[in-house]
């Protein structure tokens, strides 16, 4: 009897795991309409939407008209990422927004980003170490950023009866070395849905 039970354990385990698996799992376009949307949380499409709109604003108003100036006339303006504050009630990595913005702006070919002068530490510690070594050996100094990008994400929630609404406000600003804001923008993503039986 004991040996029979031991033989059945692997079979039962496989059956349980097979039953728990999602048979119809499939890939979806992260910017498409099939992505799961939740009212109370920021979803990946919210980051993509906000980043896309704000990048378009910065490109149209500052980058394409060549309003951003570089201290080195032979190189594009250099941008450092400052603090992007998460002032919502959720836990998420603000890099989900930062990297989408950085990638879009970098691909214009008209901006560069530093990986050694960002607030909170170097994005690339090895590059930062190399810059310090070069400065110590007097082989040149690291180029200072021409601009810094900072911002915050805040939220506003409301409800009426069973209907609930969550708005996430994305704010960004670009400042020159003197601290003067040369560009800023704000995008609001609002979502509505019926209230669940438990919670907001």
Mean pLDDT in consecutive groups of 10 residues from the start of the chain, 200 residues: 52 50 69 69 87 94 95 92 89 88 93 76 52 52 83 91 90 92 94 62
The whole-angstrom separation of Cα 54 and Cα 103 is 13
Q: What is the pLDDT of residue 200?
A: 39
Task: Kindly state whether residue 3 falls inside one of the protein's structural domains.
Answer: no
CATH number reported for the structural domain that contains residue 130 in this entry: 3.40.50.10610
pLDDT at 90: 87
How many separate domains does the chain show?
A: 1
Q: Does residue 36 form part of some domain?
A: no
Q: With helix as H, strand as E and coil as C, how does the chain read?
A: CHHHHHHHHHHHHHHHHHHHCCCCCCCCCCCCCCCCCCCCCCCHHHHHHHHHHHHHHHHHHHHCCCCCCCCCCCCCCEEEEEEEEECCCCCCCCHHHHHHHHHHHHCCCCCEECCCCCCCCCCCHHHHHHHHHHHHCCCCCCCCCCEEEEEEEEEEEEEECCEEEEEEEEEEEEECCCCCEEEEEEEEEEEEEECCCCCC
Residue 146 lies inside a defined structural domain of this protein: yes
- Boundaries of domain holding 164: 41-194
Q: Does the model's pTM come out above 0.85?
A: no
The answer to whether residue 187 sits within a structural domain is yes
- Asked, for residue 26, whether it belongs to a domain, the answer is no
The answer to the question of residue 28 being in a domain is no
The answer to whether residue 17 sits within a structural domain is no
What sign for the dihedral angle of Cα 36, 42, 43, 48? Answer: positive
| pLDDT score, position 5 | 47
Q: What pLDDT was estimated at residue 36?
A: 72
For position 38, what pLDDT does the model report? Answer: 77
33 within some domain:
no
């Amino acid at each position: 009897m004991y040996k029979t039970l031991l033989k059945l354990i692997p079979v039962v385990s496989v059956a349980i795991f097979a039953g728990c698996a999602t048979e119809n799992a499939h890939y979806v376009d992260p910017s498409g309409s099939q992505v799961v949307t939740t009212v109370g949380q920021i979803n990946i499409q919210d980051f993509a939407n906000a980043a896309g709109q704000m990048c378009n604003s910065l490109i149209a108003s500052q980058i394409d008209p060549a309003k951003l100036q570089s201290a080195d006339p032979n190189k594009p303006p250099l941008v450092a990422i400052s603090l992007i504050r998460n002032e919502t009630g959720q836990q998420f990595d603000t890099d989900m927004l930062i990297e989408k913005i950085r990638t879009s702006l970098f691909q214009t070919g008209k901006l560069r980003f530093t990986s050694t002068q960002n607030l909170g530490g170097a994005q690339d510690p090895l590059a930062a170490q190399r810059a310090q070594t070069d400065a110590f050996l007097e082989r040149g100094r690291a180029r200072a950023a021409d601009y810094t990008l900072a911002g915050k994400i805040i939220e506003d929630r409301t409800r009426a009866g069973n209907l609930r609404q969550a708005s996430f406000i994305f704010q960004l600003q670009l400042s020159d070395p003197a601290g003067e804001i040369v560009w800023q923008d704000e995008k609001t993503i609002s979502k509505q849905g019926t209230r669940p039986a438990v919670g907001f």
